[in-house]
Amino acid sequence: MEIEDIGRVYHYLLRYRSIEYKPSTRRSRSGESDVAAILRGASIDQLDRFNQFLSPQGFKLIEFDDSTRGVSTAGRVWILARGVEADPPEFYTTDRVISEIRIREGERREDVAIWFLHIWMIYLSLIYTRPGRGVSEVSGYIDATFSREALTHAVEEHIENIRQMGISEGAESKAVSILDAEQGQDIPRRVLAFLTLMSGSGLVYEVSKDEYQQTLLGAYEIAESYNHTLRVPVENILKNVVNIAAPSVTQEEEMETEIDGVN
Amino acid sequence: MDWPALLASTARLLDLHDCDRAAGTSLYAPPEVRPGPANGLWLDVATQMLQYLYEKDLEANEAWISLTEIVDELVSRHDIDEQDVQFVTNYLATSTRLVTLKEGAAPSTLNRLITKKETSLIEWPRNTNARDRCRLTSSGSRSVQLSQAAHKWLYADEDASKLIKAIEYGAFPDLPALAEGLIAQIRGFSKEITILLERKDLDELLDEFRQRKDEYLAVLQGVQGSVEKAYETFMLTDTLSRFDSWVDSTGNEDITSYTIVQSFRDILQAIERLSRKLQGLLSVLVSQKREIIGSVQFDKAAVGLAFYPCAENIVELCIRALGPWTTMIGAPAPNDFTGILSLPLEEESATTYVFEEEIADDLPSPLQQFLDSYGGEISSALKKGPVSLTKAVENGWLLIDGIDVLPQLVGIYASPDWIEEEGSEIAVSLLPGALNVELPDGGMLRGDDVVLHLLFTNHENKGID
């Protein structure tokens, strides 16, 4: 793995976040087979050195082989995952989250962030909570499929649920009023923007028109970083606020076998 | 005994066999109607009966087996009488008619295959009315064996040793299937490890791993040893000459020594990856560190966060660490700019282009490089028989030092005179629609396959007329 190879692979990863040898569900992207060939030909030492190069930037290269669900036989997947040890580099930005989710002039950054957070949580409930999938279950990414319509509907249900509950004593009205102010096609537009952002970052993959699936990168990152990030607000709210009404959705029945007494 | 697994794998197939929908009619969901109280009673009586007969048959060696003992046992196990057991044994002894389709001798034809006799699982003594003794038919024995089939890693060693046996017996066509089966087992075990590393509430399985870890490692080493031994055995001069004789006698073109060797390498690579994964799991077991995050109520948390929002900086932190991100600066590849370069010479340019007249013609052309690398191999292959483009791709004549030479390979098929030798002539034929081969980069070549034939070598006609 020469210096120019490292440059080529690094550039490709910054752009697409993952490299797949023998992709199972899509055609190879332009140049993907070249960078996959470089990584396949790299020794363990060379990959270690590449990871040493990535580490100070807050990234790491993770390899998956065909013992991972969804990776084709003899195939390989490499992802550029964010680590928790180092800060990301200066060129790293999440500003587009705000600019894409903002659908009206003058919307405050904080308000837009609330919209993103809620769509994000409902997205996570769709692919983790409802099917009873644990956050650590990376290999469940292959089953984490959903349509744009399903996510839009779930977000609409969530907002309607909040409206119906109303502000109780001790609750804050700020976020509720931001969410309650949605009208017309606001939710479909924000959900589309959310999915565009997630696809662009390699966290979800558009399998076909308006049909999506979580990527291996998306599943790996949340399994690795959940404890240092979302766990704080999520556990805090679930532990301390006891009177949250159960969401209207019901958990899917995933029981493989039912055992009951016969005699 | 894993009867549910056996039944689950065939239930829908039998439903479809009995399906009364006519082709071309409207769609409908399978009618989930199964007559009977669905209490599992008759199935239990049947499986107990089969298992009993199977165990007894191991001792009796196909002699008739008395039913007295099992009838007593079943009558005490369930609230049933002797006649009920008789009903089940009759049921198992009655054959039913199954229709499947199989490829006919002529191309694109399908013939009906009727299976009836094999569907009875037990049989009574012939030419008598005796119903107090019976035995399993071969289908009955197979059903019990299938219910016992456990593709557990602990038995993988035995499967790996079959590779050596197959080589010793000269059963070369079995090798790819055995290799694939072994790789599937390795992959299956690897997936089990992944599940253990990812899922909560699997303490029982983890304990089994803890207890059996030495056995698992021993099996891993055993499998590796067997595959290496099989590889060495296959590479012996004696084996290779037996293999060549087998190829010559059967005319088999699908299995080459290269594909067999590649199968061994694939298994060894899979073993190496499994070994790394197993070590990872063992280190987790030893250190007792198994941080697994189970199901999280994100939907409930979202409702809570609407009424009791967290600090804005926490939201920002979460998005920054886990949300979508982009680079602040563009990082285009050099080729990305190609389209915006303007190349026409300005009308009043002060610059005059000067072209070097010397052309570096000492470097071999790509075609010459291709011929130097693979010309000899192609010629040798042609002397043994026709060589299709599909076969050429399978032989790997596509890369030289990592550079794609597919255009040069196709060029040879367009102008085969590049590889003609004195006294020989190469003809080209087409197999319509036969080309359907995957390239190493995942691309596909489809269409008419092109086949090269060597017509004359030393004035002997060895090819097509």
Query: Residue A1 pLDDT > 90, yes or no?
Result: no
Enter the CATH code of domain A3-82: 3.90.1150
* Sheet of strand A211-214, all strands in order from the earlier edge strand to the far edge: A145-147, A211-214, A204-208
DSSP per-residue codes, A89-156: PTTEE-HHHHHHH--STT--HHHHHHHHHHHHHHHHIIIIITTT--TT-GGGGGG-EEEHHHHHHHHH
Read off the pLDDT of each residue in A178-200 and give the average, rounded to a whole number. Answer: 89
Cβ proximity of A126 and A151 under 8 Å? yes
CB contact under 8 A, A37 and B402: yes
Compare CB distances from A225 to B195, B308, B322 and report the shortest one's residue. B322
**Does B273 or A51 have the greater pLDDT score?**
A51
Per-residue pLDDT of chain B in tens (465 residues, 90 and over written 9): 678 878 888 888 888 998 888 888 988 888 888 888 888 899 999 999 998 998 888 777 677 788 888 888 889 889 898 899 989 999 999 999 999 998 887 888 888 888 888 899 998 887 777 788 888 888 888 888 777 665 566 777 777 888 888 888 888 888 888 888 888 888 888 887 888 788 876 777 777 777 777 888 888 888 888 889 889 888 888 888 888 888 888 877 778 888 888 888 888 888 888 888 888 777 777 766 667 888 899 999 998 888 888 888 888 888 888 889 888 766 555 555 555 555 555 555 566 666 655 555 555 677 888 888 888 888 888 888 899 998 898 888 888 877 788 888 888 888 888 887 777 788 888 888 888 888 877 788 888 888 998 886 554 444 433
Q: How far apart are CA B267 and CA B271, in angstroms?
A: 6
Q: Which two tokens stand for residue B360?
A: 């570096």
Q: Which helix (H) or strand (E) holds A61?
A: strand A59-64
Q: What is the pLDDT of residue A263?
A: 40
Distance (Å, rounded) from C-alpha A228 to C-alpha A63? 22
- Chain A residues 117-146 with CB within 8 Å of chain B: 117-118, 120-122, 124-125, 128-130, 132-140
B384-389's contacts with Cβ under 8 Å and 24+ in sequence apart are B385/B253, B386/B429, B386/B451, B386/B452, B386/B453, B386/B454, B386/B463, B386/B464, B387/B451, B387/B452, B388/B431, B388/B434, B388/B449, B388/B450, B388/B451, B388/B452, B389/B413, B389/B435, B389/B437, B389/B445, B389/B449, B389/B450, B389/B451
Question: Would you state the pLDDT for residue B212?
Answer: 78
DSSP SS3 for B252: coil
Residue B460: the pLDDT is 46
Interface check B37 vs A, CB under 8 A: no
B190 touches chain A (CB under 8 A): yes
Q: How many contacts does A have with B, using Cβ atoms within 8 A?
A: 230
**Would you call B338 an interface residue with chain A, using a CB distance cutoff of 8 Å?**
no
Domain ranges of chain A: 3-82, 95-240
In residues, how long is chain A?
A: 263
C-alpha B168/C-alpha B161 separation (Å) is: 11
More confident residue, B396 or A246: B396
Find which of A34, A82, A237 to mutate to test the B interface (most B CBs within 10 Å of its CB): A237
pLDDT at A253: 42
B173 and A CB contact within 8 Å: no
Output the pLDDT for position A261. Answer: 47
Output the CA angle A22-A24-A29, nearest 5 degrees.
60
The pLDDT of residue A96? 83
Single-letter amino acid, residue B445: L
